[in-house]
Structure 1
Amino acid sequence: MATKIRKVYMGVPVPSWPKAGFDINIDIQNIEGVLADIQLKSELDVEFVGGDVVRVPSDVEELKKKIVDVDGILAFNLSSGVGMLFRGIVEFGIPTILFSQPYSGHDWSGVAGMVKAGKKVDVLATSDYNEIFSRIKLIDVIRRLRETKVIYIRNGGVDPTYAAQVKEKFGVEILSVQHERLLSIYDSVDQKAAEKEADRWIDNALKVVEPSREEIVKSSRMYFAIKQLMEEEGARAITINCLGLFGQNALPAYPCLAFSKLNDEGWTGVCEADLASTLTQLMVGYIANRPGFVSDPVIDTATNTVIHAHCVAATKMDGPNNSPAPYIIRSHTEDNKGASLQVLMRVRQKITVAKLVGLDTMLISTAEITACPDVDRGCRTKIATRVTDARKMLDNWSGELHRVIFYGDWIEDVINLGKLLDYKVVFEG
């Protein structure tokens, strides 16, 4: 589905900036050509619609009547004195970007205050129209979130109040599913397909340490069962109380391998029924077009290091269309059962570390992978990362334990997405 963005051109009837007697139609004609080129070159499926000219307050009211079924608004101030008009457009509640080229006026100066007031708005004050690409991407992320369904498997289901709040703020739908339904699908999975999948895992591994082939086959059956459940529900993400349910013998296999492969394929699988990390992985993952690695962080102030460890890790941290990292098939650390991966991630890779806290704060930091520790403690996949100030991180830690790691530096995009989704960004360390 195309991301639909409404074009709006603002200019008062008698402008003073950029100069007296300026004809805004000159700029409109130029911008129309630029946007047509952007739509053609964009890697995203984007459609610019409209092209409304707003000059007086009544034009804003007319626009409000016409503006339906769009994902965002791209507004251009072509003269000074359009601040009131723009504020009226922002009040529609649709993610809105103001493009303010040099000498077009001073109305860019009011946007920061709107952001602080919780309005869904951002501004580009630039002569480079190519910067529009970056904001198109964020509007596309918001559209994808609104179309995303998350399956939640845990005894008792999701808190309905929390689910309603997530739906209202981010558009993400959370669906509670009983684990018995997953078991029923698991029992129907073709055994030969599961064996073939298990052999693929084994053949591509550097080695297999603890699990038997039978255990890997069970994990492969779990992958097919989870994927079928997601397809039946039209879900893009799933999170399961894996530790609790497996410990109660309510699951025949851990979903670690299943989540690894789902994340490799561009879906989202998150352990421990952790909705905050699931939402984080969706939001930053949609920006980066690559999976996240949910981790248990370990801080070592002596070496200014944070070690991130977990038993679920994608092998394609660069994204689904890229080469996999080498891996070893291991058991789940905490009980030495099941099958999981020890993924050898890329050393010297810069990473972004994020965590959504509540619905209004995103914790964020960057680091660099310095090693993949091979020690018989902690979860199977481990990366040691060099941070700015481990002691400061320790002293100011919040947001419970888990963090989500992504290859690359996505700080600026996360900040700008926050302006359109009304969350604040807090830097850790």
Structure 2
Amino acid sequence: MSPKPLIVQPVLAVQLYKPHPQTSWRPWGGIHTQEDISKEQARIQDELKKLQADSEFAIQTRPLVTLSDPNKAAELGKADHDLMLIYAANTDLRILEGLTNPAKWTLVFVRHKSGPVYLWYEIAHNRYLRKTVDQFGQPGVDHQDVVVDRYDELQWRMRALFGLKNTLGKRIVAIGGASGWGAGGQKAPEISKTCWKMDIQTVDYPALGELIKKARQNQSLVKYCSDLADRYMKETGIKVQTDPQYIRNAFVLNEVFKGLMDKAGTDAITVNNCMGTIMPLSETTACLPLSLLNDSGYTAYCESDFVVIPSGVLLHHISSLPVFLNDPTYPHDGMVTIAHCTAPRKMDGENYEPAQIVTHFESDYGAAPKVDMKLGTKMTVIDPDFDNKVWLGFEAEVIDNPFLDICRSQTDIQIKGDTDELNAQTRGFHWMASYGNYLRETGYALKKVGVGWNNLSRPSKA
């Protein structure tokens, strides 16, 4: 399934002013004639086309609307867009207030040097955001929702909102039901339904067992999966160190998982209590199928831990990359080991990292990938708290891929931030990680749903 595009409604808020003798008759701003307006309309349309072409996520831009009527502004503010993008040239405050619908997202763009200077470059903060007092007073927006000149600043905010749109209301198949790690995680499924509006579709193990049994009795499907597995085992970068039949069985299980998602109309799945339950049914483990699914663009997680799953769905859609649900260890000396048996190989979205296919560690059974992540790669790491009140995040760098007696995919990462502070502020249990730095996008998205953000890698204020 393709992610839903971010639907953007651009509006040029502009009007022309007539001269009056011996009085101030025009506000600040470089748009004075109808020709100026036409040039600005063309400029905005060209800029938005370039923004769409330069973005790795889907943007659907509605036709540019130019207006100066407060009633029309209020009507447009109620339309079916996701994001109102206001080019606040020189109209009065009522236009901006009418366009700003607190039930939707709003960005205000003002020009300093990227074109004719805008009036609202001067007064966006004191009149629009603060209503001529010291406190913020415009519902639905704050200081981070105003952008001056730079389309890269617009782009990362849109990337965050695209990720948030595709997280809110996400349908996910939960084999064995929804759960949450530890005593603190017991409320996580309910939080996922209320805060994140997730649609959790439970599939019980008896039903899964029947599907696996049926799949394994389908000789044409078994042959198809065996052929896929045999080609996979011969791929460059793959080293097989487990019984090949476990891998062939994993490809059958992979098809069963895909069938469940197709039936539910989604591309997200999680497996609860997978080790002792799936192994007798499938004669393999879920580790490799979950890795394969993430490499194919799905979001697939073990353990059904809904403390961390919303962060995985969000980070996946923000980054447009596979994400790695992992067990953290104890941070020390500026580094920490993250590990699990289900890591994707296609972490950068294009290239496959080398992997040894071994057994799942705790059971010494089945097929699990030991993925070696690329040394020197920057990563985003997210640690959600049990209460979904303040998430923690930091930037890291891959420094080693050891082979310890722990979960198979294991990576040592260098922490960009204070190790002691990380140990003091860590909450929850599982972490989520991706290649690249998406900390600011994550924090911006979280603010929109009322969740706090502790960016451990943010530069310290002097």
Q: Given that residues 145 and 282 in structure 1 are in contact (C-alpha distance below 8 angstroms), is that contact kept between their aligned partners in structure 2? A: yes
Question: What's the counterpart of residue 413 of structure 1?
Answer: 441
Quote how far apart the aligned CAs of 1:390 are: 2.1
Question: What's the counterpart of residue 77 of structure 1?
Answer: 88
Correspondence for 2:352 among 324, 328, 336: 324
| Amino acid paired to 1:93 | A
Q: Given that residues 341 and 407 in structure 2 are in contact (C-alpha distance below 8 angstroms), is that contact kept between their aligned partners in structure 1? A: yes
- The equivalences for 1:200-211 within 5 A come to 200-204=231-235, 206-209=238-241, 211=242
Q: Which range moves more in the overlay, 46-55 or 258-267?
A: 46-55
| Amino acid paired to 1:25 | I
Question: Cα deviations across residues 301-333 of structure 1 (Å, max 9, x unaligned)?
Answer: 2x32200011111111111xx221111111111
Say if 1:407 and 1:33 are closer, same or farther in 2 by CA, change over 3 A: closer
Say if 1:216 and 1:45 are closer, same or farther in 2 by CA, change over 3 A: closer
Equivalences, count? 420
Question: What's the counterpart of residue 334 of structure 2?
Answer: 304
Question: What's the counterpart of residue 44 of structure 2?
Answer: 31
Q: SS at 1:329's partner residue?
A: strand
Question: Cα deviations across residues 115-146 of structure 1 (Å, max 9, x unaligned)?
Answer: 99765994343223454333443343334335
Q: Which range moves more in the overlay, 403-412 or 3-12?
A: 3-12
- The equivalences for 1:303-382 within 5 A come to 303-319=333-349, 322-357=350-385, 358-375=387-404, 377-382=405-410
Correspondence for 1:86 among 93, 96, 100: 96
Say if 1:80 and 1:174 are closer, same or farther in 2 by CA, change over 3 A: same
Q: Distance in 1 between matches of 2:42 and 2:244?
A: 65
- The equivalences for 1:91-106 within 5 A come to 91-102=101-112, 103-104=117-118, 105=120, 106=122
Question: Cα deviations across residues 204-262 of structure 1 (Å, max 9, x unaligned)?
Answer: 365333x3233223222211111111112111111111446538956643210000100
Q: Given that residues 88 and 110 in structure 2 are in contact (C-alpha distance below 8 angstroms), is that contact kept between their aligned partners in structure 1? A: yes
Structure number, greater radius of gyration: 2
Q: Distance in 1 between matches of 2:179 and 2:304?
A: 10
How big is the alpha-carbon RMSD for the aligned residues of Structure 1 and Structure 2? 3.3
Q: Given that residues 105 and 140 in structure 2 are in contact (C-alpha distance below 8 angstroms), is that contact kept between their aligned partners in structure 1? A: no
Q: SS at 2:292's partner residue?
A: helix
Question: What's the counterpart of residue 230 of structure 2?
Answer: 199
Q: Which range moves more in the overlay, 358-367 or 337-346?
A: 358-367
Question: What's the counterpart of residue 74 of structure 2?
Answer: 61
Q: Which range moves more in the overlay, 377-386 or 89-98?
A: 89-98
| Amino acid paired to 1:9 | L
Quote how far apart the aligned CAs of 1:350 are: 1.2
Question: What's the counterpart of residue 51 of structure 1?
Answer: 64
- The equivalences for 1:130-209 within 5 A come to 131-146=153-168, 148-155=170-177, 166=192, 169-189=195-215, 190-204=221-235, 206-209=238-241
Q: Which range moves more in the overlay, 303-312 or 34-43?
A: 34-43
| Gapped regions of structure 2 (runs ≥ 5) | 18-25, 216-220, 458-462
- The TM-score with structure 1 as length reference comes to 0.85
Query: Between the two proteins, what is the percent identity of the paired residues?
Result: 21
Say if 1:299 and 1:356 are closer, same or farther in 2 by CA, change over 3 A: closer
| Amino acid paired to 1:178 | D
Say if 1:20 and 1:289 are closer, same or farther in 2 by CA, change over 3 A: closer
Q: Given that residues 334 and 418 in structure 2 are in contact (C-alpha distance below 8 angstroms), is that contact kept between their aligned partners in structure 1? A: yes
* 2:18 is the alignment partner of 1:7: no
Q: Which range moves more in the overlay, 91-100 or 378-387?
A: 91-100
Q: Given that residues 77 and 84 in structure 2 are in contact (C-alpha distance below 8 angstroms), is that contact kept between their aligned partners in structure 1? A: no
Q: Given that residues 335 and 419 in structure 2 are in contact (C-alpha distance below 8 angstroms), is that contact kept between their aligned partners in structure 1? A: yes
Quote how far apart the aligned CAs of 1:380 are: 0.9
Q: Distance in 1 between matches of 2:388 and 2:163?
A: 17
| Amino acid paired to 2:100 | V
Say if 1:245 and 1:56 are closer, same or farther in 2 by CA, change over 3 A: farther
Question: What's the counterpart of residue 20 of structure 2?
Answer: none
Q: Given that residues 177 and 202 in structure 2 are in contact (C-alpha distance below 8 angstroms), is that contact kept between their aligned partners in structure 1? A: no
